Structure 1
Amino acid sequence: MGNAMWARGAGNETHSDYHDSVLKAEEHDTLVVLHDYPSPDISDPIFRMGEKLRVLSREGNWWRVRAGQSGSENYIPYDHVAKVYHGWLFEGVVRQKAEELLRLPGNRPGSFMVRESIHERGVYSLSVKHRTIMHYKIFRLENSWFYISPRLTFQCLEDMVNHYSDSSDGLCCILTAPCLSETTSPQDIPSQPPPVVMRRNNFDWKKVNRRDLVSTAALQGQDNRDTAVSYGVRNSIASYLSLTGTQEPEERKKNRKKKSKSVYVMPDYSLSHMDLEDEYET
């Protein structure tokens, strides 16, 4: 495994190759399904996009895998899955597929993945779910240290992930959990019932004579006699009548005030120290 200056000569292992190999050294490989298999056009899928699988063996262009939820064993084509290391490092996931995975149920704001480019080994990007899916370039120095912002460098990707899990420090939000970290398979997540809607009849205050409700004196709190309307409701009705122009002419003159304008200037938050990944990049 190498960085942007990966040595392509046979038998030449660079310093970056070694660290990338250590990063991906795991006793068992984990896969994530990128496409429903088989296609829904053919039959009911055995594996669905976003499902986590455990590798049992590789046989040619097929993976023999065990489903994480059911524990059943089956085969899936090599190009229908991607390897996942440490729960958050996705190997060979393009930008569009990353967005599809992060939008799956179970991912909340702050869910993220570090993904390796399918075109160049050792080149990484950070994808984060926020109001939208944000993508950040991860740069690499000659000594194999990583950074998103030039003012912060990290010896390894784990240190970078740990830092941004404690503080957003210029990112769109804090990293909360790896993409698809929930153990529940996407198809097992129950759909939320529709919200209960309470239907109310429209009530037009303009068609009601306020004298039929309570006297003007009672509305203004000048009458101590008992009424069927509570003090809080009387004040609400009085406020509404004043806003809708139902005051007496003299009352409106007294309440006239010179209008003023207020302007709120949003702070200029600059992302000049961050490089968002270009749309054409994968």
Structure 2
Amino acid sequence: MEQHVICYDVEKDLLPLVLSNCQYSLERGKETISEYDLPRIQQQILTHFLQGKPHISLTGIPTLINTIEKDSESVFKTIKGKVPQVSLNALIRNGVSRELDSYSEVCEALKIVELLLGFLAKTGGDANMKVGTYLKDVLKMDIEEHILKALNKCSLKHCVSLWQLLSSLKSENMLHLKMGPFSKYAAEYQDPLSEENRTELKGFMSPANAAQWLLEMHEFILLVLGRPYATDRYKPFWSVKEAMLLYMDHKEVEVPVYVEENFPENLLLSQILEAWKYVVTSKQEWMNEG
């Protein structure tokens, strides 16, 4: 969607305005009737949000469109061409994850990073500049201090990897809150795991260097398997390893030797959603065991 010049919060700005112009009437034995003063609401919206604001024509101005999920391949490729990218190390990943300890914070941070990616794809930037510095000094954004602190652990060279992390954290939070992050995905990708699958995944995920691979898996799930007719391109009977190697090759990203040698061969693409959920819900337990 296009990023609008007029910014407002539905719950903080619009709802109080609407409710202040609502009258309730109750007749015995009947339901409560709500009557809204629509002309007054319209006038107050004009006064509060539009009056005095300059009209800006889009003619000649590049329009910023949030297309991360629609056209991620070209957005990420464009960014990498303008701002060389590297993966977040474990220390930064863990630091960001600890700072953003609620679903709402993760969603807000992800929204900000997606906006940032849109700008970087258009204008580029200094790879070593801190994300927080860019947001405050270049984009002039007013961001909650807690979220800014988390994002400022990263530089612009980490932005694509930061998006990977935040989008995965969002899905993880949804999973823990029983919101079903992949409920609308094709049933062909939601087969259960066998005990052998679980054992092999546990063995693979134990080393710390497998964490980045889990983020790559989530990106693949989110951006590829969530598309319409994904099963026509990525067959459910393929192995996850085969499909992921194809995806990584298409992205021109090198696959770690550890993954090449140790990722479970028998895990099928039809099981990838359950595999990701299993690892996410079990990794803390595995860490405690270690």
Name the TM tier (shorter chain).
Answer: under 0.3
Greater relative contact order: 1 or 2 (C-alpha under 8 angstroms, separation 6 or more)? 2
Larger proportion of helix: 2
Compare CA radii of gyration and give the structure with the larger one.
Answer: 1
Larger proportion of strand: 1
Q: Give the TM-score, by structure 2 length.
A: 0.24
